[in-house]
Structure 1
Amino acid sequence: MKEQSQRLGKEPIRSLLFKLSVPAMIGMLVMAFYNVVDTLFIARGVGILGVAGVSISFPVMMVIMAIAAAVGIGGASVISRRLGENRQEDANYVLGNIVIMILAVSSISFIGGFTFLEPILKAFGATEDILPYAKDYLFPIMIGSFFFGLAFTSNNIIRSEGNSRFAMITMIFPAVLNIILDPIFIFWLDMGVQGASLATVISQASVSLVVIRYFVVGKSSLSVGLEYMKARFDLMKEVIVVGFPAFVRQVGGSAMMIAINYMLIQYGGDFEVGVFGIVQKVSMMAIMPMIGVLQGMQPIVGYNYGAQQYDRLKETIFLGLKVATIISAVVFVVMFAVPEYLMMIFTGEERTIETGAHAMRIMFALAILIGAQLISGGLYQALGMARKALVLSIARQVLFLIPLVLILPRLFDLGVTGVWLAFPVSDLLAFILSVTFLYQDRALFFKSKKDQVAGEQSVQPS
């Protein structure tokens, strides 16, 4: 096992979390920045209908990313615990079976691009005006879904073995390349939203080649080869079970987008859908640093849980919660104080700026609670406790946000404001649920080495 993996159980937690989280945060911020720039180019070069087309397409993309998330995050959890248990051979087989699953799923997406693309977009709320833009954007994405799956999945796996620096590179490289290609395809070649989509696919294909080389030349703690590419359904099942909460969370996000777009069209129109497309990109930028902390924390949690080093586990959890809460407090201040300036990045239209700023202030009214929600859900995933990870993963978006989005606009004639108001209410409810779960499992988080036997009997991965 390489030193990059062994340090997960030896290096001081503060410095280790810093070294793993900061590259993840930088990578996530660069990716979020590319999403912002992507939307900016579409808004400036195509218009608000182009942004609306991307917004309608996003739920389909989220389903693709959901599958990659399930395989990648589930595989990363299994691999980090196998490395902590010093089961190198098993970890290699996990990687091989992950590749098999990516190939199978991307084949279905490829076929879907030629067969049921338009019916899906119409079912997801595309109007006659938005449909052409949505089709142009989504078709290349579905054709090139293999590259998305491989890049997204491998990033989690590389981080699970402790190589946060290279994991950061695999996020920054495609984002920078995408930013360079966007204006070329959108403006110079006059390809509109399809140009933005092609730039994204080419960027993900490029980083996929970099990732393949990383595993083939032996820079990874894991070994890749045909001998490990034999289907083992026991490992596939474990990866899917642990990664299922991530899948549900992403699919829940897709369902949330469908519900929001539907209600915005019903109580507003195509304009409101376009505004939400911009607000959503800003929201992604805001939440990425917290996800970076979570991604840096998960391999430390998984490794030390597998190695039964419970003091290090406890220290990691509390430090992660503290840092994520500080970041979420900063997000709250920024979103409440200067949302107009954030909207001005994308457009100079006064109506769009005013509507977007109004939406942001309401949506982020309880943003300070977001950090604890993210950390708690990711914590249970890293521990392999799939049931609780599943509940926390679907709580905000599926259990709370979607029903509230469908109900609040109808109450007291709130209309579109009711859609925005659903966000802080769901944040509060999800936070209460997260704190409840963490309190119930406080014995695990405070467990010491002498409690090992009792803990293994009372707390087992689901």
Structure 2
Amino acid sequence: MNAKTVVKSAENPLGVKPIRGLLLSFSIPAIISCLVNSVYNIVDQIFIGQGVGYLGNAATTIAFPLMTIIMAFATLIGSGGSAYAALRLGEGRKREALLTLNNLLIIAIGLGVLLAAVGLIFLRPILTLFGATESTMPYAVDYTSIVLLGVPFSLVSISLSNMARTDGHPRMSMYGILIGAALNTVLDPIYIFVLHWGVKGAALATITSQFVSTVVLSYYFLKKGNMRFHKIYFKPVGRVWYKIFTLGISSGITSLVACIMQVVMNNSLVHYGNQSEITGDVALSAMGIVMKIAMILASFCIGFGIGAQPILGFNLGARKYPRVRQAYLMAVTIATVSIFLGWLICQTMPHLVLSLFGDENQTFTDFGVRCLRIYLGGIFCAGFQIVSTNYFQATGQPLKASLLSMLRQLLLLIPLLLLLPLKFGLDGLLYAGPCADIGSACIVALFIVPEMRKLNRKIQEQKEAAASLAA
């Protein structure tokens, strides 16, 4: 294959097709991909809850911060590579986009192997730090030690999924992840209930599914993509690595801060739960499920944010500012409406939602309902916050994006998790959620409103310049 044929000559639809159709065509597969990534954990938790019990679910909650760290690195390189490639494609610099794709694969493989090795070597100390107790440690070790073996596949599949959207094929991004999720859903009950492998079976189902997703997406970029893997571009390039990491840092920080938050949350749940009639293990298990439900709700906002990214980046690079503004406003509106509907379900039907995860323990169910209603009480603000943060990342403003990524969890939620329980005990952990959600949305508004005004000025200047030329 000649290098000149690696990129096809067809005009990129990001710069010409109607924004509404583009946003939906890119966002819906992104939402499904985000939901699928959540489903890997949710499906495990449902089947573990039914087949092992709440101690098994507590173990997956303990393992979740480690999985979040892995996701942080996958999101960092995947979103960074996608944002950089979209900007360069908008400028017509296709060779740079090809270098980005091939360098992204090198980074994902190397980083995946490194993370898996470190995690396995220090597994028990890490799980202890994340809140494992004497009763939950065996389950956590069984689950996490196996999941860590699939880390390289996880990083490659998530990275290539991001690049498929920038390549103009969001459905391929969705299919690659969806195939793995479907397989995970089939294998989970077989491994847990038929073969009686317990939490080990859930972990084996997960890594098998990640491997299949990696194969599907790799084949696309070998044989089908507009951008493709090619040996002449498969070499480390320092400037490309720098751009991938700097543009992706805000997304990586979001996930990494989520890990820190989860560690604080887990240890606080055990500490304050043991001081109440709830007990630490029950509190840990119930909140773990609520956090997974929050991931599902946030998937809609993240999906619209991710779907808008290549549209924003490409059109900014092409200096099509009206399309940039239209894409942002439309993404914010739809994301906000979607998460509001999810919030409404959690407030009105919490028992129905929690019943999916097992109901053998009434204390667990009662506390889970309170967690769902109170902790997620302000999540309706997430659409505005997430899409706005993604806007700064997509338009090449990593400093603002990084600051806003840290805002909710590091600057607001973690201090609230530490301070409110001193006065209100276990309830303080629950009320920290809505306080952080609403507070962060107000601060994000202070950044995005001036940005929209600046964008409006650029649009006006273009109109005046066009009118002057016409005259």
Asked if TM exceeds 0.5, the reply is: yes
Q: Residue type matched to 1:446 in 2?
A: N
Aligned to 2:372: 360
Aligned to 1:377: 389
Aligned to 1:23: 29
Q: Which runs of 5+ in 1 are unaligned?
A: 453-462
Q: Residue type matched to 2:439 in 1?
A: L
Runs of 4+ in structure 1 over 4 Å off: 1-5
Q: SS where residue 153 of structure 2 aligns?
A: helix
Q: Deviation of residue 443 (structure 1)?
A: 3.0
Aligned to 1:396: 408
Counterparts of 1:449 and 1:372 in 2: how far apart (Å)? 23
Q: Residue type matched to 2:398 in 1?
A: A
Counterparts of 1:173 and 1:198 in 2: how far apart (Å)? 16
Q: Deviation of residue 19 (structure 1)?
A: 1.4
Counterparts of 1:309 and 1:52 in 2: how far apart (Å)? 49
Match of 1:282 among 273, 289, 293: 293
Q: Determine if contact 2:173/2:217 at 8 Å carries over to the other structure.
A: no
Q: Which runs of 5+ in 2 are unaligned?
A: 1-6, 274-279, 463-471
Distance 1:223 1:29, change over 3 A: closer
Q: Residue type matched to 1:43 in 2?
A: G
Whether 1:252 and 2:263 are equivalent positions in the alignment is: no
Cα deviation digits, residues 57-88 of structure 1 (max 9, x gap): 11111111111111000000000111111111
Counterparts of 2:110 and 2:213 in 1: how far apart (Å)? 20
Counterparts of 2:84 and 2:461 in 1: how far apart (Å)? 23
Q: Determine if contact 1:5/1:221 at 8 Å carries over to the other structure.
A: no
Q: SS where residue 441 of structure 1 aligns?
A: helix
Q: Deviation of residue 351 (structure 1)?
A: 2.0
**Count of aligned pairs between the two proteins:** 451
Distance 1:5 1:203, change over 3 A: farther
| Bigger mean CA deviation after superposition, 355-364 or 72-81 | 355-364
Cα deviation digits, residues 318-359 of structure 1 (max 9, x gap): 111111111122122111111111011111232222111111
Whether 1:159 and 2:169 are equivalent positions in the alignment is: no
Match of 1:201 among 201, 207, 216: 207
Q: Residue type matched to 1:237 in 2?
A: Y
Whether 1:179 and 2:179 are equivalent positions in the alignment is: no
Cα deviation digits, residues 116-149 of structure 1 (max 9, x gap): 1111111222111111111111112222211000
Match of 2:99 among 89, 93, 100: 93
Counterparts of 2:355 and 2:371 in 1: how far apart (Å)? 14
Q: Determine if contact 1:367/1:427 at 8 Å carries over to the other structure.
A: yes
Distance 1:185 1:278, change over 3 A: same
- Taking only the aligned residue pairs, the percentage that are identical comes to 34
Aligned to 2:442: 432
> What is the TM-score when the length of structure 2 is the normalising length?
0.92
Root-mean-square deviation (CA, aligned residues, Å) is: 1.8
Cα deviation digits, residues 5-62 of structure 1 (max 9, x gap): 7110000111111111122223333443443222110011111111111111111111
Q: Determine if contact 1:308/1:449 at 8 Å carries over to the other structure.
A: no
Cα deviation digits, residues 148-176 of structure 1 (max 9, x gap): 00011111111122211111111211111
Cα deviation digits, residues 75-107 of structure 1 (max 9, x gap): 000001111111111111111211121122122
Whether 1:341 and 2:352 are equivalent positions in the alignment is: yes
Aligned to 2:269: 264
Q: Residue type matched to 1:215 in 2?
A: F
Aligned to 2:54: 48
Q: Residue type matched to 2:432 in 1?
A: A
Counterparts of 1:318 and 1:368 in 2: how far apart (Å)? 17
Aligned to 2:427: 417
Q: Deviation of residue 179 (structure 1)?
A: 0.3
Q: SS where residue 196 of structure 2 aligns?
A: coil
